[in-house]
Amino acid sequence: MPAADNLGEIPMWKGFVAQLDEAKWRYGRPRKPGEPRGETWRCLGDFEQGPWIYVIERPAGLEVRPHSHDQDEVVFILDGGLHHAGRWCGPGTMLSFPRRVPYGFTVGPDGVQWLMVRTGASHDENLDDWQDHLGRSLEEYVRERRPALRRSV
């Protein structure tokens, strides 16, 4: 039975224990020795209900334009790095992105591998949703999202 909050009625968390190499492939394929990083997404936990953790690799130089999500997100850089908000974020860096607050980044010259942690359900997110933010400016993103952003505040 899932753990419940102090009211004893609402399931709040589905615990799990896993090694990184147990993550299920959702996109991409394993890298061959010496091959540069590509776009790969592997998932630990319960993607549909939460909590879930993505093990993500992104290729060198990728620019991810400002975007937001419906959940708070914590990222831990494992290898490589990225530039965010004027700062280099290498291995061991933790980033926290509040829900509905736009953020973007540029992947460094060696690509990046990180863990992304979310505690809630995926709300039917899929790869198309995540690709929507690539190649757009902050102004374009805000203009497109303005009605939804107003409703969520």
Q: What percent of the chain has pLDDT over 90?
A: 34
CA 59 to chain centre: 15
| Other C-beta atoms lying within 10 Å of the C-beta of residue 132 | 13
Q: How far apart are CA 62 and CA 58, in angstroms?
A: 7
CA distances for 125 relative to 5, 23, 47, 93, 128, angstroms: 26, 18, 9, 25, 8
Could you read off the pLDDT of 50-62 as tens digits, one per residue?
788 989 999 999 9
pLDDT of residue 9: 52
The answer on pLDDT for 40 being more than 90 is: no
Could you read off the pLDDT of 98-138 as tens digits, one per residue?
988 999 999 999 999 999 998 877 665 655 454 444 444 44
* Closest residue by Cα to residue 53 from 74, 81, 83, 27: 74
Residue 134: DSSP 8-state? T
The structural domains of the chain, ordered by start, are: 24-126+133-152 (2.60.120.10)
